[in-house]
Amino acid sequence: MDCILEASAHILVSEGQGKLNTNHIAKIAGVSVGSIYQYFGNKETILAELGNRHIDEMLTIIMATLQKLPSLDLKEALETMVHAVMDAHKQEPQLHQVLVRELNKLDGYTRVEELDGVLLNLTESFLKSRAHEISSEDLKLASFVVMQTIENLTHQGVLFAPQIDLSKLTKECSHMLYCYLTS
């Protein structure tokens, strides 16, 4: 099954979604078309499994880093959050870019929204633990602003503007969020 997913990821990144079909996957993976259907019903299920694995990898990276937040001051914690999300997005960025586009087209695929929900809840819990340092009265809204800022700047920096120095972007983003939360 892994060779099928690896071949599919290769095709998506190097040739595009339009070239993703069972015959081409089988050729690249070195398996029969029947083997593909043994594991996957269609290319949408292949995309979904690629998405699931990618999201799981990202979540593992982010969760491992976010465990450090309680011991850090607010400024360091924000920088750590931004850094964690950037690190997660640096894992196979070309595949991530394709998956973001293609998974949004799949009917019933909810893992992206689930990931966003988990990150939003973690951010809100963190901000609640630091409520005495934060000027915003609406921590739910502040959490949304923080996560959307991190996510959007990360996507732009990692996926669409490779010339940007990500360590500088991390510092700028975390500084901006610190100023927003404490002003």
Report DSSP letters for 74-138, one per residue. HHHHHHHHHHHHHHHHTSSHHHHHHHHHHHTTSTT--HHHHHHHHHHHHHHHHHHHTGGG---S-
CB under 8 Å to 91, separation ≥6 — which residues?
A: 54, 57, 58, 61
Are residues 73 and 20 part of one domain? no
Are residues 20 and 100 part of one domain? no
Task: For residue 18, give its domain range.
Answer: 1-41
33-37 average pLDDT score: 94
Are residues 97 and 36 part of one domain? no
Are residues 160 and 88 part of one domain? yes
Instruction: Answer whether 147's CB lies under 8 Å from 116's CB.
Output: yes
Are residues 47 and 30 part of one domain? no
Quote the CA–CA distance of 160 and 151 in Å, as a whole number.
13
Are residues 67 and 5 part of one domain? no
pTM of the predicted structure, to 2 decimals: 0.88
Are residues 20 and 88 part of one domain? no
Are residues 104 and 128 part of one domain? yes
Are residues 166 and 106 part of one domain? yes
Q: What is the pLDDT of residues 123-172, one digit of tens each?
A: 999 999 999 999 999 999 999 999 999 999 999 998 888 899 999 999 99
Are residues 139 and 63 part of one domain? yes
CB under 8 Å to 48, separation ≥6 — which residues?
A: 103, 106, 109, 111
The CATH code of the domain that includes 92 is 1.10.357.10
Quote the CA–CA distance of 146 and 111 in Å, as a whole number.
20
Are residues 76 and 5 part of one domain? no
Q: What is the pLDDT of residue 2?
A: 93
The CATH code of the domain that includes 34 is 1.10.10.60
Are residues 71 and 112 part of one domain? yes
Q: What is the pLDDT of residues 47-102, one digit of tens each?
A: 999 999 999 999 999 999 988 999 999 999 999 999 999 999 998 999 999 998 88
Domains: count for the chain? 2
